[in-house]
Amino acid sequence: MRLLHTSDWHLGRSLHRAGLAEAQRAFLDHLVATVREREVDAVLVAGDVHDRAVPPLAAVRLFDDALHRLAELGVPTVMISGNHDSPHRLGVGAGLIGRAGVHLRTDPAGCGTPVLLADDHGAVACYGLPYLEPALVREELGAGTGGHAAVLGAAMERVRADLAGRPAGTRSVVLAHAFVTGGTGCDSERDISVGGTAAVPAALFAGVDYVALGHLHGCQTITERLRYSGSPLAYSFSEAGHRKSMWLIDLGPAGEVAAERVDCPVPRPLARLRGRLDALLTDPALGVHEAAWVEATLTDPARPEEPMARLAERFPHVLSLVLEPERDPAAPHTSYAQRLRGRTDQQVAEDFVTHVRGGAAPDERERAELAAALEAARAGEG
C-alpha cells in the first residue's frame, strides 16, 4: 500500500509580513498532483491543518477546496487535529465527510477505532490520534495525573487492544501529533510542554508498522517506522536550511517500510545574513540572496540610520531585522545601575545609548537631540 504522509499545513499563516496563501495553494496543487501521478492509495495528514483555532475565512475556503479535491480523487484521506487546530471546528461534519473518503479524527474517544483500508495483501488499520492535551483528556483516557507520555501511552493501549482483536496479518498505521524524543524542533512550533513534559519516547509506538508524525516542522526520521514529514513551507527563518517535503511510504505485505521523500514547491528561498550593514550591501557573494526572503542580523557597533530601508534597496524581500552589535571583549562589564550613580539626566541618557549600542557613544547631533528632549520633558512637568 502506498501512503503519502504530510502534516503541519498551517493554513492561514504568514511569514512575518509576507502572505503565504498562494504558496499554500500551490502546495495543495502539488499534493493532489502527487497523489494522482504516483498512484497513492491513501493520504495521511498528521495535524496542524490550520494555524489557529479560529482560522481566517480564506484559510477555511482553501481547506474546503482541498477536501473536495481529495474526495474527487477517490483516494482515502485520514486527517487528525494538531495543537494549533480546534478539534471541534475541524471535526464538524466528520461523519458526513467520511462518507466521501476523507476521515477526520479529532475526538480522543475514537483513538482505538481505525479507518480500515485494504490492498491486494489484506487489511491496513489506520488509527488517528489527535493532539492530546493532558489536562483535557487524561480523565477520559484513564491516564491518571500523567503528562504527554501518559495520555499518549493510554491512547496507544487502545490501539493495541483493537489491533489484537483483528485478523492475523493486519498491518497498522498510526497518525500522531506529538514531540517524540530524538526529534529536532525549530522556532515556528508552538510549545506543548504546558500540562506535562513535552517529549514522549518513541517506544510508546512499539508494535506499529508505520507512525506518521506531525508537530515538528523539519522532515526527519526518528526510526525507520517513525517519521516526521515536516511542514510543506517554511514558517520561520530557523527553517532556512530545511528541505521541505512529504514522505511517500510503501507498506509491504508483511509491514515492511520503504520511504521516499517528495519535495514540495519552494515559493521563495530563505536567507539568514549577518554582518555590518555596509558589508551586506556591498558583498558581491550575497547577490544570490537578492530574490530571497531575508533575515538580516546587523553587527554594527552603533545602529545605522534607516537600516531596513537601505537593506530593502538590495534585498527587496527583507522581512526581519535583528540588531546584535559587536562588543569590545576588553570593555568592562559594569552594571547599568552602577553607571547611574552620580550622573546627570543628560549623562544617564547618553550612558543608556552607549550601553544599548554596545559601547558606541552618541555623537554631537544625538547629544543635542537628547538635551532637547530632556528640556521638553522638564517643561512639560511644569
Quote the cell numbers at residue 11: 493554513
Contacts of 373 (CB under 8 A, 6+ apart): 349
| pLDDT mean across residues, the chain | 91
Report whether pLDDT(228) > 80.
yes
Question: Residue 42's pLDDT band (boundaries 50, 70, 90)?
Answer: very high
Locate 51 and state its grid cell. 494555524
The pLDDT value given to residue 195: 39
- Rounded to an integer, what distance in angstroms lies between the CA atom of residue 175 and that of residue 48? 12
* 150-204 pLDDT, tens digit each: 999 999 999 999 999 999 999 999 999 999 988 888 877 766 544 344 789 999 9
Please tell me the chain's helix, strand, coil percentages from 3-state DSSP, rounded to the nearest 5.
35, 25, 40
- Residue 79 to residue 130: CA distance in whole angstroms: 9
Instruction: Compute the residue count for the chain.
Output: 382
pLDDT of residue 382: 46
DSSP class of residue 305 equals S
Tens of pLDDT, residue by residue over 348-362, are 888 888 878 878 888
- 3-25 average pLDDT score: 96
β-bridge mates for residue 297, sequence order: 274, 322
**pLDDT for 379 beyond 80:** no
